[in-house]
Amino acid sequence: MLTLDILPEIEALMDKQGVNPQTKEHLLKCSRFHTFSAPGLLIGVYMTEYALELLKAQPDEILYAVSETHKCAPDALQIIAGCTVGNNRLRVIPIGRFAITINRKSWDPEVEGVRVFVDLNKLKQYPIINAWFTNDPSFDHHGNVMPLLDEIFIAGRKILSYEKVMVQTEIKKKWKSVTCTMCGETVPDYLAQGDLCISCAGTNYFRKISI
Protein backbone atom coordinates (compact mmCIF):
# COMPACT_ATOMS: atom_id res chain seq x y z
CA MET A 1 0.00 0.00 0.00
CA LEU A 2 1.35 3.42 -0.99
CA THR A 3 0.78 4.99 2.42
CA LEU A 4 2.05 8.46 3.27
CA ASP A 5 4.91 7.06 5.35
CA ILE A 6 6.74 6.13 2.15
CA LEU A 7 6.44 9.63 0.66
CA PRO A 8 10.20 10.23 1.23
CA GLU A 9 10.94 7.21 -1.00
CA ILE A 10 8.53 8.48 -3.65
CA GLU A 11 10.06 11.96 -3.41
CA ALA A 12 13.49 10.39 -3.98
CA LEU A 13 12.14 8.79 -7.18
CA MET A 14 10.93 12.23 -8.34
CA ASP A 15 14.38 13.71 -7.73
CA LYS A 16 16.03 10.78 -9.51
CA GLN A 17 13.91 11.39 -12.61
CA GLY A 18 14.28 15.18 -12.51
CA VAL A 19 10.65 16.08 -11.81
CA ASN A 20 10.44 19.89 -11.86
CA PRO A 21 9.81 21.66 -8.52
CA GLN A 22 6.28 22.87 -9.34
CA THR A 23 5.11 19.43 -10.44
CA LYS A 24 6.83 17.83 -7.46
CA GLU A 25 4.97 20.20 -5.12
CA HIS A 26 1.67 19.30 -6.80
CA LEU A 27 2.42 15.56 -6.65
CA LEU A 28 3.20 15.70 -2.94
CA LYS A 29 0.29 18.00 -2.07
CA CYS A 30 -2.19 15.86 -3.99
CA SER A 31 -0.80 12.68 -2.42
CA ARG A 32 -1.38 14.08 1.07
CA PHE A 33 -4.91 15.13 0.16
CA HIS A 34 -5.66 11.76 -1.46
CA THR A 35 -4.01 10.05 1.58
CA PHE A 36 -1.67 8.00 -0.63
CA SER A 37 0.29 8.29 -3.89
CA ALA A 38 -2.03 6.35 -6.16
CA PRO A 39 -0.65 5.89 -9.70
CA GLY A 40 -3.86 7.35 -11.17
CA LEU A 41 -3.55 10.40 -8.94
CA LEU A 42 0.02 11.04 -10.13
CA ILE A 43 -1.06 10.76 -13.76
CA GLY A 44 -3.99 13.04 -12.91
CA VAL A 45 -1.52 15.69 -11.70
CA TYR A 46 0.29 15.62 -15.05
CA MET A 47 -3.05 15.75 -16.88
CA THR A 48 -4.28 18.74 -14.87
CA GLU A 49 -1.04 20.68 -15.28
CA TYR A 50 -1.04 19.96 -19.03
CA ALA A 51 -4.66 21.10 -19.45
CA LEU A 52 -4.02 24.33 -17.54
CA GLU A 53 -0.96 25.06 -19.67
CA LEU A 54 -2.85 24.39 -22.93
CA LEU A 55 -5.70 26.61 -21.75
CA LYS A 56 -3.17 29.30 -20.80
CA ALA A 57 -5.00 29.62 -17.49
CA GLN A 58 -3.93 32.36 -15.11
CA PRO A 59 -3.23 31.76 -11.42
CA ASP A 60 -6.43 31.94 -9.34
CA GLU A 61 -8.58 32.07 -12.50
CA ILE A 62 -12.08 30.66 -12.02
CA LEU A 63 -12.22 27.45 -14.03
CA TYR A 64 -14.61 24.57 -14.52
CA ALA A 65 -13.69 20.93 -14.98
CA VAL A 66 -15.08 17.55 -15.89
CA SER A 67 -13.55 14.22 -14.90
CA GLU A 68 -14.66 11.20 -16.91
CA THR A 69 -13.78 8.91 -14.01
CA HIS A 70 -14.46 9.02 -10.28
CA LYS A 71 -11.05 7.43 -9.60
CA CYS A 72 -8.10 9.64 -8.60
CA ALA A 73 -8.29 12.35 -11.27
CA PRO A 74 -10.93 14.47 -9.48
CA ASP A 75 -8.58 15.03 -6.54
CA ALA A 76 -5.86 16.49 -8.77
CA LEU A 77 -8.43 18.87 -10.28
CA GLN A 78 -9.59 19.95 -6.82
CA ILE A 79 -6.11 20.67 -5.46
CA ILE A 80 -4.42 22.17 -8.53
CA ALA A 81 -7.27 23.84 -10.45
CA GLY A 82 -9.52 24.67 -7.50
CA CYS A 83 -12.46 22.94 -9.14
CA THR A 84 -14.43 21.08 -6.48
CA VAL A 85 -17.77 19.36 -6.22
CA GLY A 86 -18.61 21.71 -3.36
CA ASN A 87 -18.04 24.93 -5.33
CA ASN A 88 -20.01 23.43 -8.23
CA ARG A 89 -17.09 23.75 -10.63
CA LEU A 90 -16.28 20.04 -10.91
CA ARG A 91 -18.50 17.51 -12.62
CA VAL A 92 -17.67 13.81 -12.34
CA ILE A 93 -19.27 11.91 -15.20
CA PRO A 94 -18.55 8.18 -14.67
CA ILE A 95 -17.84 7.25 -18.28
CA GLY A 96 -14.84 5.17 -17.21
CA ARG A 97 -12.28 6.89 -19.46
CA PHE A 98 -9.21 8.36 -17.79
CA ALA A 99 -9.69 11.86 -19.13
CA ILE A 100 -10.38 15.39 -17.92
CA THR A 101 -11.63 18.60 -19.48
CA ILE A 102 -11.04 22.13 -18.22
CA ASN A 103 -12.76 25.29 -19.47
CA ARG A 104 -13.29 28.90 -18.50
CA LYS A 105 -16.48 30.38 -17.12
CA SER A 106 -19.08 31.27 -19.73
CA TRP A 107 -22.72 32.31 -19.85
CA ASP A 108 -23.11 30.74 -23.30
CA PRO A 109 -24.64 27.27 -23.81
CA GLU A 110 -21.21 26.02 -24.91
CA VAL A 111 -17.65 27.06 -24.16
CA GLU A 112 -14.29 26.02 -25.59
CA GLY A 113 -12.22 23.77 -23.38
CA VAL A 114 -9.24 21.43 -23.43
CA ARG A 115 -9.65 17.67 -22.99
CA VAL A 116 -6.59 15.69 -21.89
CA PHE A 117 -6.55 11.89 -21.93
CA VAL A 118 -4.22 8.91 -21.61
CA ASP A 119 -3.18 7.91 -25.14
CA LEU A 120 -3.07 4.12 -25.46
CA ASN A 121 -0.68 4.28 -28.42
CA LYS A 122 1.81 6.37 -26.46
CA LEU A 123 1.31 4.13 -23.44
CA LYS A 124 2.85 1.17 -25.30
CA GLN A 125 6.27 2.79 -24.91
CA TYR A 126 5.97 2.31 -21.14
CA PRO A 127 5.30 -1.39 -20.47
CA ILE A 128 4.81 -1.18 -16.71
CA ILE A 129 2.29 1.68 -16.92
CA ASN A 130 0.58 -0.06 -19.82
CA ALA A 131 0.21 -3.33 -17.88
CA TRP A 132 -1.19 -1.49 -14.85
CA PHE A 133 -3.49 0.80 -16.85
CA THR A 134 -4.99 -2.02 -18.94
CA ASN A 135 -5.37 -4.23 -15.84
CA ASP A 136 -3.15 -6.88 -17.43
CA PRO A 137 -2.94 -10.03 -15.27
CA SER A 138 0.86 -9.90 -15.65
CA PHE A 139 1.05 -6.74 -13.53
CA ASP A 140 2.25 -7.50 -9.99
CA HIS A 141 0.36 -5.16 -7.67
CA HIS A 142 2.89 -5.78 -4.91
CA GLY A 143 6.28 -6.10 -6.56
CA ASN A 144 5.77 -3.64 -9.41
CA VAL A 145 4.36 -0.65 -7.51
CA MET A 146 7.56 1.37 -7.03
CA PRO A 147 8.80 0.57 -10.58
CA LEU A 148 5.37 1.76 -11.78
CA LEU A 149 5.71 5.10 -10.00
CA ASP A 150 9.26 5.44 -11.31
CA GLU A 151 8.05 4.90 -14.88
CA ILE A 152 5.22 7.43 -14.35
CA PHE A 153 7.81 10.04 -13.34
CA ILE A 154 9.90 9.12 -16.40
CA ALA A 155 6.92 9.36 -18.74
CA GLY A 156 5.31 12.51 -17.31
CA ARG A 157 3.15 14.02 -20.07
CA LYS A 158 4.54 11.74 -22.77
CA ILE A 159 1.63 9.32 -22.32
CA LEU A 160 -0.96 12.08 -22.76
CA SER A 161 -2.75 13.61 -25.72
CA TYR A 162 -5.24 16.45 -25.94
CA GLU A 163 -8.00 17.88 -28.07
CA LYS A 164 -9.92 21.13 -28.13
CA VAL A 165 -13.60 20.61 -27.41
CA MET A 166 -16.82 22.53 -26.95
CA VAL A 167 -18.24 21.87 -23.49
CA GLN A 168 -21.92 22.13 -22.64
CA THR A 169 -22.26 24.52 -19.74
CA GLU A 170 -24.61 24.08 -16.81
CA ILE A 171 -26.78 27.16 -16.40
CA LYS A 172 -27.60 27.88 -12.78
CA LYS A 173 -31.23 27.03 -12.19
CA LYS A 174 -33.70 29.24 -10.38
CA TRP A 175 -35.42 27.18 -7.75
CA LYS A 176 -37.71 27.24 -4.77
CA SER A 177 -37.75 25.05 -1.69
CA VAL A 178 -40.38 22.33 -1.42
CA THR A 179 -41.10 19.99 1.47
CA CYS A 180 -41.28 16.23 0.92
CA THR A 181 -44.65 14.93 2.15
CA MET A 182 -43.09 11.68 3.37
CA CYS A 183 -39.88 12.61 5.23
CA GLY A 184 -40.69 16.26 5.91
CA GLU A 185 -37.29 17.50 4.68
CA THR A 186 -36.84 20.28 2.13
CA VAL A 187 -35.25 19.96 -1.32
CA PRO A 188 -34.97 22.19 -4.41
CA ASP A 189 -38.09 21.83 -6.54
CA TYR A 190 -36.15 20.62 -9.58
CA LEU A 191 -34.94 17.61 -7.55
CA ALA A 192 -38.41 16.59 -6.39
CA GLN A 193 -40.53 13.87 -7.94
CA GLY A 194 -44.05 15.09 -7.50
CA ASP A 195 -44.52 15.81 -3.81
CA LEU A 196 -41.64 13.50 -2.79
CA CYS A 197 -37.88 13.94 -2.65
CA ILE A 198 -36.05 11.47 -4.88
CA SER A 199 -34.95 9.48 -1.84
CA CYS A 200 -38.51 8.82 -0.68
CA ALA A 201 -39.49 8.24 -4.29
CA GLY A 202 -37.18 5.23 -4.35
CA THR A 203 -33.62 6.45 -5.00
CA ASN A 204 -32.28 5.91 -1.51
CA TYR A 205 -28.68 5.16 -0.51
CA PHE A 206 -29.36 4.17 3.12
CA ARG A 207 -31.65 2.09 5.31
CA LYS A 208 -32.82 3.44 8.67
CA ILE A 209 -32.00 1.49 11.82
CA SER A 210 -33.71 1.56 15.15
CA ILE A 211 -32.13 3.70 17.88
User: For every one of its 211 residues, what pLDDT tens digit does the chain have, with 9 covering 90 and above?
Assistant: 577 888 999 999 999 999 999 999 999 999 999 999 999 999 999 999 999 999 999 988 999 999 999 999 999 999 999 999 999 999 999 999 999 999 999 999 999 999 999 999 999 999 999 999 999 999 998 889 999 999 999 999 999 999 999 999 987 778 899 999 999 999 999 999 999 999 999 888 888 898 8
Given its phi and psi angles, is residue 71 left (phi above 0), alpha (psi -120 to 50 degrees) or beta? beta
pTM of the model: 0.90
Contacts of 96 (CB under 8 A, 6+ apart): 68, 69
DSSP assignment string, 141-198: TTTTHHHHHHHHHHHGGGGEEEEEEEEE--PPPP--EEE-TTT--EEEGGGEETTEET
Instruction: Tell me the β-bridge partners of 114.
Output: 102, 164
Q: CATH 3.30.1330.130: does it fit domain 4-168?
A: yes
How far is 42 from 56, CA to CA, in rounded Å?
21
Task: Quote the pLDDT of residue 31.
Answer: 96
Please report, for the chain, the start and end positions of each structural domain, with discontinuous segments joined by +. 4-168, 174-211
The CB density around residue 147, as the number of other CB atoms within 10 Å, is 14
DSSP label at residue 58:
P
